[in-house]
Chain A
């Protein structure tokens, strides 16, 4: 009997706060069980910057606020069989998408950046410039949920989702038994 190969997982944080990655670590000691089943490829957790091989599961935290987010997300879609959006930002845009609310403006992006770096009441910016280093990726016109940029297979809602639900979802997927969430598990009110 051949031993089953370990499933490969990759993760990325786009326009998020890394809270969802912290939540992944909230799996706590069950991580030991999980690591018997999986190996982690490209991920901030391993500091592997590029896909070494095709992965079974990709986990995306955060939505798309800049061009690099789009690039990374597309890269994940091409290199992962199953793509999971984890947390409110990845699923709906979340907190960064508050800038999408600047709607009645001819130049919403400019308005947003000027308030953030120049005109806001609590800004102390000695350069009096909006940052524009060539290394900074260009911002998108608005913040997009991941599902508008690529097809997403599963969403794990929450801000951040609990370690329990992340563990159960991954364990279920790996066992081929995942069939959605029980309603009360994804209720937050």
Chain B
């Protein structure tokens, strides 16, 4: 075609891109699917490709570029046929990722961030990929590898060089395995404690069967009576959310499952998606019946792409059994679920950003109000719930509100999945009733010698030993599930510095206080680590943190200073020990020698002021 050759695309590539676009009906709302597929096939999104996609979908090229440049897994420079993404989370670092990365670099002959000259391999870092319980871990294209060692890294590099596919690294007969086998060959579930609601054996379809006999209003009443609150972290009443969506006048309503489990140290949804995918679909179907929705979207984080086949198989199986699709249960009730893969953006765990992402836009949060329950996906009333929340909902319909409400304690009913990782003997997933103390959880996980625990991941609360008797519940220590254990040999400031670098990387950039402020916080923590901070820098940290919290519009900015604020409060001596007043009120953090070094080289002369004069 003339137009494509003008755009500088080889005809075969143009054809492949056109086919990808056609596969989703040239729908601009499916932009993320289009770009993911183009990235997979051509290993990058070239300017010419963007032009073609724009003309197919009726958007401007810059709109396509806006999406392509937003997501970490989409690249605007050619990537290797195999892309190795090393998990850079603090837990992976402490578990030996730097040595693993060095081994990969040595074996592949490239540095992290580079692509080999023959275009075979790219090596890069990526934030937490949800495998902290088996760190260090890495993604290689669509498969994941866990428990890496430098030796294994060398073997992997050699195997890839010898032409093995990433899948063959997992098993030679990978394609003959069932999707569930493929997933569990790659990743251990590490279920350490099964509670009553989710991880103990659950009957198939019992909750949905009951829901099909119930009036939608009664379903919502049942969920409200159970006291179920959102399990993603914010803890909004699930029944209330459903009721608001049901009460909003609309032709169409949408159910979205948030499986963008991006909070560092969280991996409980990974286990539910592997072991309870039917329960999840059941919960979503119940929610659809309750609010009157016929469309569902399961938003799966790009890092969990290895679960794609498993979930697709489950959805197809349910369609075949009449549990999804038209006329579910022989009633006038239609509902189907589309799997939407993300592309490496933490912010998409925020519900507004997640909805933007589902709409084919950059994953930027939306201004609230309006809330998604009244105007969400494409402006339609939308229920967004976490994986765990939907699973609980299905169990509540089966076992009754009272059964659920009796577990846990006031304000925090039922059970909760905790993802425990870091310095403990038994990292993994624990399903426990709300209300237990951190100390009890540490005892179960074999983390009694913990010196610090990050409850709720990077955006949560860092507590010290004297607070281990605090209780895991919405009223005290709320968590979406992440519990990261650090022993006494870990440097608190190193952890904080990592979490701040994480937020710098993951801020969507919309609000200046978050985009810029987190950079400043990160820099300031660097001063503390180098011992160059002054006592008043502590006030600076608090002041700037307050500004970021007050002036950011989404949860990322309102929680990103928490690693600093909670460690300032709970580990004050760590900060106090590193600060010292500046001499003569001149800042030690400003290094004149490094500041003039570039100019010295350019001018080919020394400093008249700051270099010693050796001529005398």
Contact partner, A141, options B585, B594, B605, Cβ 8 Å: B594
Distance between Cα atoms of A34 and B603 in the complex (Å): 45
A74 to B608, CA, bound (A): 16
- A138–B607 alpha-carbon span in the complex (Å): 7
Residue B603 contacts which of A78, A107, A132, A140 (CB distance < 8 angstroms)? Answer: A132
* A-B interface, 10 closest residue pairs, ranked by CB to CB distance from nearest: A138-B599, A151-B585, A140-B595, A138-B596, A139-B599, A109-B598, A149-B590, A71-B609, A141-B598, A150-B586
Chain B 163-178: CB-based contact to A (< 8 A → 1; otherwise 0): 0000000000000000
Provide the bound-state CA to CA distance between A77 and B585, in Å. 7
Q: Does A113 lie at the interface of the complex (its beta carbon under 8 Å from any beta carbon of B)?
A: yes
CA distance A126 to B428 in the complex (A): 71
Whether B437 is near chain A, meaning CB under 8 Å from some CB there, is: no
**Docked-complex contact A141 and B589, CB < 8 angstroms:** no
A182 and B346 alpha carbons, distance in the complex (Å) = 41
Contact B609 A109 (CB under 8 A): no
- Cβ contacts A94-107/B at 8 Å (1 or 0 each): 00000000000001
The smallest beta-carbon distance between A130 and chain B, in angstroms, is: 8
Contacts of B608 in A (CB 8 A): 134, 137
**Taking the complex as formed, is A70 at the interface, i.e. its CB lies under 8 A from any CB of chain B?**
yes
Query: Taking the complex as formed, is A144 at the interface, i.e. its CB lies under 8 A from any CB of chain B?
Result: yes
What CA separation (Å) do A142 and B534 show in the bound complex?
A: 22
* Residues in A whose Cβ lies below 8 Å from that of B596: 67, 138-141
Is B610 engaged at the interface, CB distance under 8 Å to the other chain?
yes
**B12 at interface (Cβ–Cβ under 8 A)?**
no
Known contacts A107-B598, A109-B598; A70/B592 CB under 8 A: yes
**Closest residue of A by beta carbon distance from B589:** A148
Q: Are A67 and B609 in contact (CB under 8 A)?
A: yes
A68 at the binding interface (Cβ < 8 Å): yes
| Cβ-closest chain A residue relative to B600 | A138
Residues of B within 8 A of A (CB): 534, 536, 582, 584-587, 589-590, 592, 594-600, 602-605, 607-610
CB pair A67–B592 under 8 Å, yes or no, is yes
Q: Could you give 28 example pairs across A and B, Cβ below 8 Å?
A: A67-B592, A67-B596, A67-B609, A67-B610, A68-B609, A70-B595, A71-B609, A77-B585, A109-B598, A109-B599, A110-B598, A110-B602, A113-B602, A138-B596, A138-B607, A139-B599, A140-B596, A140-B599, A141-B595, A141-B596, A141-B599, A148-B590, A149-B587, A150-B585, A150-B586, A150-B587, A151-B582, A151-B587
Contact flag A137-B609 (CB < 8 Å), given A109-B602, A144-B590: yes
Residues of A within 8 A of B595 (CB): 67, 70, 140-142, 144
**Known contacts A77-B586, A138-B596, A148-B590; is A67 also within 8 Å of B607 by CB?**
yes
Residue of B nearest to A136 (CB): B603
B586 CB contacts on chain A under 8 angstroms: 74, 77-78, 149-151
Interface residues of A in 59-80 (CB under 8 A from B): 66-68, 70-71, 74, 77-78
Flag A104-130 by CB within 8 Å of B: 1 or 0 each: 000101100100000000000000001
User: In the assembled complex, which residues on chain A have CB atoms less than 8 Å from the CB atom of B597?
Assistant: 141
* Closest CB in chain A relative to B219 CB, distance in Å: 52
Contact of A138 among B534, B589, B590, B603 (CB under 8 A): B603
A130 to B610, CA, bound (A): 22
Q: How large is the interface on A (under 10, 10 to 19, 20 to 34, 35 or more residues)?
A: 20 to 34
Min Cβ gap A142→B in Å is 8
Alpha-carbon distance between A134 and B600 when the two chains are bound, in angstroms:
11
The residues in A between 132 and 174 inclusive whose CB is less than 8 angstroms from any CB of B are 132, 134, 136-142, 144, 148-151
Q: How far is the CA of A110 from the CA of B600 in the complex (A)?
A: 11
Q: Is A77 a contact of B605 with CB atoms below 8 Å?
A: no
Instruction: Kindly provide the distance from the CB of A119 to the nearest chain B CB, expressed in whole angstroms.
Output: 15
Task: State how many angstroms separate the Cβ of A50 from the closest Cβ of chain B.
Answer: 15
Cα-based distance from A142 to B595 in the complex (angstroms): 7
- Could you tell me the distance between the alpha carbons of A151 and B589 in the complex, rounded to whole angstroms? 11
Contact of A148 among B587, B598, B603 (CB under 8 A): B587
Residues of A close to B589: CB separation below 8 A: 148
Chain A min CB distance to B244 (Å) = 38
Q: Are A77 and B584 in contact (CB under 8 A)?
A: yes
Assembled-state Cα–Cα distance A78/B586 (Å): 8
Distance of A138 Cα from B609 Cα, bound (Å): 9
- Shortest distance from the beta carbon of A68 to any chain B beta carbon, whole Å: 7
Whole-angstrom CA separation of A137 from B602 in the bound complex: 13
CA distance A159 to B576 in the complex (A): 37
Whole-angstrom distance between the Cβ of B530 and the nearest chain A Cβ: 14
Shortest Cβ distance from B610 into A: residue: A67
Determine the chain A residues whose CB is within 8 A of the CB of B592 once the complex forms: 67, 70
Cα A139 to Cα B589 in complex, Å, equals 18
The smallest C-beta distance from B477 to any residue of chain A, in angstroms, reads 37
Please measure, in the bound complex, the distance between the C-alpha atom of A130 and the C-alpha atom of B603, giving whole angstroms.
Answer: 9
A111 to chain B, nearest CB (A): 11
Q: Which residues of chain B are within 8 angstroms of A150 by Cβ–Cβ distance? A: 585-587
Which residues of chain A come closer than 8 Å to B584, judged between CB atoms? 74, 77-78
How near does chain B come to A34, taking the closest CB pair, in angstroms? 26
Query: For A134, what are the chain B residues with a Cβ–Cβ distance below 8 Å?
Result: 605, 608
Min distance, Cβ B541 to any Cβ of chain A, angstroms: 15
Given contacts A70-B590, A77-B585, A140-B596, 11 further A-B contacts (CB under 8 A): A67-B607, A77-B584, A110-B598, A110-B602, A113-B602, A132-B604, A132-B605, A136-B603, A137-B609, A139-B598, A141-B597
Residues of A within 8 A of B598 (CB): 107, 109-110, 139, 141
CB neighbours (8 Å) of B607 from chain A are 67, 138
Q: CA–CA, A66 to B600, complex, Å?
A: 12
> Complex formed: what's the CA distance from A149 to B585 in Å?
9
Closest residue of chain A to B602 (Cβ to Cβ) is A110
A70-B584 Cα distance, complex, nearest whole Å: 14
Assembly CA distance A136 to B599 (angstroms): 11
Residue of B whose beta carbon sits closest to that of A140: B595
> Distance (Å) between the CB of A80 and the closest chain B CB?
10
Chain A residues contacting B603 (CB-CB under 8 Å) are 132, 136, 138
Residue of A nearest to B581 (CB): A151
Q: How far is the CA of A71 from the CA of B598 in the complex (A)?
A: 18
Using an 8 Å CB-CB cutoff, how does the interface string of A31-68 with B read, 1 for contact, 0 for none? 00000000000000000000000000000000000111
CA distance A107 to B586 in the complex (A): 28
> What chain B residues lie within 8 Å of A142 (beta carbons)?
595
From residue B527, how far is it (CB to closest CB) to chain A in Å?
Answer: 10
Query: A158 to chain B: closest CB distance in Å?
Result: 21
Quote the shortest CB–CB distance from A31 to chain B (angstroms). Answer: 29
